[in-house]
Homo-oligomer: A and B are copies of this chain.
Amino acid sequence: MTKRTLIAALAVSAVLSIPALAQRTAPPAPAPVDAKVAALRDAALKDDVAYDIVEGLTTEVGARLAGTEGEARARVWAVAKLKALGFKNVRAEPYRMPVWVRGEERAEIVAPFPQKLALTALGNSGATPAEGLTAEVVVFPTYGDLVAAPAGSLTGKIAYVGNTMAPTQDGSSYGAAGAARFVGPALAASKGAAAIVIRSIGTDTNRLPHAGNTNFPAGTTAIPAAALSAPDATLIEAMAKRGKPIRMKLLLTPRHIGEQESGNVIAEVPGSDPKAGIVLIGGHLDSWDLATGAIDDASGVAITAAAAKRILDSGKRPRRTIRVVWWGSEEVGGFGGRDYAAKHGSERHVVAAESDFGADRVWRFETTLPDSAKPVADRLASALAPLGIVRGTAQAGDGADIAPIVALGVAGVDLNQSGLRYFDTHHTADDTLDRVDPEQLRQNVAAWTAMLAIVANAPEEIGPVQRAQKP
């Protein structure tokens, strides 16, 4: 903005805002920003450690589905990397969990217009017979239409559920659109469907389907369940408009391979005051199997570790121990988060924060801090504002891996990344290194560094919080 334009804009703004101002009290003066915090934050805008971690994990390990050999290699890599970065108490903590693995996956429309389809099985999908399954497709334009289908009306048929998802900065459309994947397969099974295919839960129009877990409640038989790429879903809907019966041949051969080893990887920046509690941060080390998991969630483990390393290297021990956890098996049910809470829930955690929403710019922060620590949140607001980060008002503590710890009454801090691009590549073969914008990644590291510098050193008590129950 030029100086002249700025003056003009300020003049207009002054005129326009007089009525609004008249109805409000003046805002409180912002909390001052500690010079050391500001210096750490600004230095982090030149960070290369986070990108190096994402590049290394995606190049030297790649896909790392929970409980598989890929995730095991990721743990070995992670322990070596975190030790090399100088963290203390670096170790893997293994546990066991049930594992589902993808098999062959092919589908085609056989009538009225033969065409091959691009799709991928959903996690926990059942298998078709080895020779495939051919059946009529019943087209439900929305999940609501599937809900409305009479019991038994799908017997022997393949349910198709359409569903469109708009990009949103806060990712809120995922919850709404996601029902078709989260619970659609079990619902279709309960109505007799032989299988279900859904429009991918995503915001792109690439020919790459979005994987992701679904769940069949105990006692329900898992039917074959898959997500079509958006263009394939559009194609089926276009065929359906012709009014002729649609028949699909579907082949999916995933299987459960029983309990396997998974694990969390832990590293620490030891604090100077053992009684002040632990600041718990991290992301998840596992990824879906279709890509190298750069966005989901190599970026999260990289951002949090890079920020912690800046505190480690700052020349002064933080008051509180910063514990970085790279959780295992988040994608397939949050086994790592639960194992961590089972083993460490009795230790005094004061704040928990997770990065699991890609690598785009942080635009908002939210906290659930007790009243005793309100000045901490005010200082966060001042320190994060220069990065373009606004203060939100919702309850913090998002993140599947920290949920079991947060449920114990630990305060949450969320640094919300923009979700506008996230669901273009989420759980697809496109989740590769090129999707990470190094400049936006650095802004994340700066935000996390400032947050850690404030929270880990806060003189205030950060005791347990009473949390409102989530709906």
Contacts and interface: CB of A to CB of B under 8 A. Distances in A.
A430 B113 contact: no
A429 interface: yes
Contact of A433 (B113, B234, B428, B433): B234
A59 B241 CA distance: 11
Say whether chain A's binding surface is mostly helix, strand, loop, or mixed: loop
Interface residues of A, number: 33
B113 A429 contact: no
Contact of A208 (B208, B234, B435): B208
A231 interface: yes
A125 interface: no
B434 A205 contact: yes
A60 B208 contact: no
Contacts of A433: 231, 234-235, 238
A432 B59 contact: no
Given A59-B239, A207-B291, A432 B113 contact: no
A275 to B, nearest CB: 44
Given A55-B238, A58-B235, A62-B235, 8 more contacts: A59-B113, A60-B242, A63-B116, A205-B434, A207-B429, A207-B430, A234-B432, A235-B433
26 contacts: A55-B238, A59-B113, A59-B235, A59-B238, A59-B239, A59-B242, A60-B112, A60-B113, A60-B242, A61-B113, A62-B113, A62-B114, A63-B116, A115-B292, A118-B429, A205-B435, A206-B208, A206-B430, A207-B291, A207-B428, A207-B429, A207-B430, A207-B432, A208-B208, A231-B432, A231-B434
